[in-house]
Structure 1
Amino acid sequence: MTEESTLTGQAPPQAPPVRDWTTPDLDGTDFDPALAGLMREGPLTRIRLPFGEGWAWLATRYDDVKLITNDPRFSRTEVTHRQVTRMAPNFAPRPGSLAWADQPDHNRLRKPVAGAFTVSAMKRLRPRAQEILDELVDGVVRDGPPAELIERVLEPFPLSVVSEVMGVPAKDREQVHTWTREIISTNGVEAAGRAKDGLYGWITATIRSRAASPGEDVYSMLGGAVARGEIREEEAVGLAGPLQIGGEAVTHNCGQMLYLMLTRPELMERMRARPEERGPVLDELFRYIPHRSSVGLARIALTDVEIAGHRIAAGEPVYVSYLAANRDPAVFPDPDRIDPDRDPNPHVAFGNGPHFCTGTVLARLQTELLVDTLLDRLPGLRLAVPAEQVRWRHRTMIRGPRTLPVTWSA
């Protein structure tokens, strides 16, 4: 018997079985049935994902997810030295990436770009973002119904806005978008590797070229920080990559939100009838939508930690599921229902702790503009095909519709 069982007189709980989570392609906005099954098994289970090695703990309860993501006993940096079981085929963490940094390095790395993503910076950006969106919607209105919203608006708008913030020249934007789209796919190691090489090579050259730039774009901020010796060049490149890729999430998250409005008349009616209250409804949709397939990035326990009655041993990998946390009935009553009046709504759709999404304010801005502009300028907006004919993205880490054909009262 272990020391613990001798002291308590009870045997420690048996470790849960390791479950293979193959993360199949899912259409629509339904919650992943595999994840729902893991949640039913217990607040802490064990999983094996399609790539990498071994197994990992998975935390699904809201309180446990918040604890793990804000606890220095769980390290992201340690994962870079391991082949942890994972969803992505390609694993080549870059030095300086915020995603893999622990404190205090995380704050040091975040500081050079923090000014580009503040509330005040987004207020300054808002008129330009609205101008970009209006130009796209002008074209849709001019051509008349029907229209493919993903192709015409939801893809080009976030790409253009993120490119404005980052400082991507117009001539390079389509190539950058091609790389970022390939990186978030799960098509294979070689394709993702080529896309990463292309994107990060371009980022390196861009940062070098802006060492003396007075601009307020992210690449100029990073070029200046490197020139002043605040961060190393490889750290600046590692910082920029995930920020550049972030536009993809807005496209697909907003695509899911619009799909829900277009397939649930009561939700669309609520959004149209009470436009001044759209913000809380969008928050509820952020909580509800399955914004990703499977889980994100792992952490490694630096010491033994007991959670949910189980001992996570030092060196063992741990994943958290924000999707599951957002469906915890102890925090969100009737969690599988979209409740536009849910209050409070402390969802963790943008993460928690030090790794809370850097681009949260930007993502919210873009989502609000997209929903407001499309609903206000396209009266009677509705699907142009039966809901089951909407095609969904497959082999990707971010879920969302691939097509969203709509019509409206011209």
Structure 2
Amino acid sequence: MTEETTTLTGRARPPVRQWPSLDLEGTRFDPVLADLMREGPLTRVQLPFGEGWAWLATRYEDVRAITNDPRFSRAEVTRRQVTRVAPHFKPRPGSLAFADQPDHNRLRKAVAGAFTVGAMKRLRPRAQEMLDELVDDVARIGPPADLIERVLEPFPIAVVSEVMGVPADEREQVHAWTRQIISTSGGTEAADRAKQGLYGWIAETIRARGITDDEDVYSLLGAAVARGEIDEPEAIGLAGPLQIGGEAVTHNCGQTLYLLLTRPQLMQRMRDRPETRGPLLDELLRWIPHRSSVGLARIALEDIELHGMLIRAGDPVYVSYLAANRDPDVFPDPDRIDPDRAPNPHLTFGNGPHYCTGAVLARTQTELLIDTLLERLPGLRLAVPPEQVAWRRETMLRGPLDLPCTW
């Protein structure tokens, strides 16, 4: 049996497909991913950076199975180079993204209290207050206004900073670091400088908090280190991705608002039937292509057969949540935005142990943003033709660069 066969029956492996990181305009679905989905449930890809190739799973049930299966390890990814989207890859100890059980639960426990449903309910009035201040300013100055610059960027950064415990006078610097880290422009040196700046600042902040009764994330981490539940490198690795999470809300909300502004029937539905906004937001979260390509890989710890293919021990495996959210076996007519889709078990926030820690926070911010903008800015609409809206380039998270609006 040759290296290119995958089962005892001698079935050949699928060919390795090149998957460049495309700068796509608007909310267009990645055409390469669409082709890979048509080729089969399990394909092989090579991404722009790293080494070798990786399996790619695109079907909903396979994505759920792999992300719940401890035989596929995130921790192993830190010990080798795999093909990847990011030009820079230096996982830190303590990062939840690269932790397997039981370490994952131990680490997550240190910050879980800041992201519970109860904590988000307590945060909501303060978040609304911060949002109202931004929208007050927009309404006072009057149209037109770039809502990305004026609201959708500063609001999530302010809320995440509030949850994390970033002092107000340091938030702009922290934001500059996180913005550079998720960018694919500037190369490895720029990313390394941003990471050194951010993680150095995080280390100093955690040390300064120590034992305290405060409930912000840096205080929780400082207390956990003082009690010996986690060590300082783990605390730093935990904090970094959580701090960066505000960037995702900006981009996702930008895409969501763009869809409402360019699809009048959806906007009208939002206005006329506010009681159905929750299900419609879920459908938009399912549908928007929130990222470029794929996220983080897993490594098979043993030989595993899937769809007649043998994933060998040591093989890297990616799952695509974007593809899973368009699986026609789970979401009939998946390319259509259906406001009445039910059930809607989308995987936008992930699945399994690595389900997004900040999912409730992200959903809270999205609801506040949409509700407040629709209520405070009557007749909200784009101030330019849709094709003139600029989109972010050379970034792992997709979204509009600006959103000029009038009302």
CA distance in 2: counterparts of 1:234 and 1:269, whole angstroms: 49
Tell me the CA shift for residue 161 of structure 1: 0.2
Shift in Å, 1:308: 1.7
In structure 2, the residue matched to 1:221 is 220
Post-superposition Cα deviations, 1:55-98, rounded to whole Å, max 9, x if no partner, equal 00000000100010000000000000011000001111000100
Which residue is 1:323 aligned to? 322
Residue aligning to 2:182 = 184
Aligned residue number for residue 293 of structure 2: 294
SS at match of 2:206: helix
Residue 196 of structure 1: aligned partner: 195
The CA deviation at 1:23 is: 1.5
Q: Distance in 2 between matches of 1:370 and 1:13?
A: 51
Q: What SS does the corresponding residue of 1:130 show, helix, strand or coil?
A: helix
Match in the other structure for 2:282: 283
Which amino acid letter does the alignment assign opposite residue 13 of structure 1?
R
Aligned residue for 1:48? 46
**Counterpart Cα distance in 2 of 1:345 and 1:307:** 26
Q: Distance in 1 between matches of 2:147 and 2:325?
A: 28
Give the number of equivalent residue pairs.
403
| TM superposition shift of 1:24 | 1.2
**CA shift digits 1:329-381 (9 cap, x unpaired):** 00000000000000000000000000000000000000000000001111110
Distance 2:117 2:276 in 1: 20
CA deviation profile, 1:228-285 (whole Å, cap 9, x unmatched): 0000000000000000000000000000000000000111011001011100000000
User: Which whole-Å CA distance do the structure 1 matches of 2:327 and 2:68 have between them?
Assistant: 18
Alignment-mate amino acid for residue 105 of structure 1: D
Deviation at 1:21, TM superposition (A): 0.4
**1:116-163 deviations in Å (ceiling 9; x for gaps):** 000000000000000000000000000011000000000000000000
Structure 1 residue 11, shift from structure 2 partner: 3.2
Residue correspondence of structure 1 range 10-409 to structure 2 within 5 A: 11-187=9-185, 188-408=187-407
1:13 shift after superposition: 2.4
Give the AA of the match of 2:294: V
Shift of 1:318: 0.2
SS of 2:317's equivalent? Answer: strand
Amino acid at match of 2:64: K
What SS is found at the alignment partner of 1:344? coil
Amino acid at match of 1:96: G
CA displacement, residues 164-198 of structure 1 (integer Å, 9 cap, x when unaligned) = 00000011000000000000000111111110010
Structure 1 portions without partners, runs of 5+: none
Matched AA of 2:87: P
TM-score (norm 2): 0.98
Any runs of at least 4 consecutive aligned residues in structure 1 with deviations exceeding 3 A, and if so which?
Answer: none
Equivalents in 2 of 1:270, 1:368: separation in Å?
15
Aligned partner of residue 235 in structure 1, secondary structure: helix
SS in 2 for 1:246: helix
SS at structure 2 position matched to 1:348:
coil
| Secondary structure of the corresponding residue to residue 57 of structure 1 | strand
User: Could you tell me how far 1:18 is from its partner in structure 2?
Assistant: 0.4
Q: Distance in 2 between matches of 1:277 and 1:230?
A: 43
Quote how far apart the aligned CAs of 1:212 are: 2.4
Letter in 1 for 2:278: G
CA RMSD of aligned residues (A): 1.1
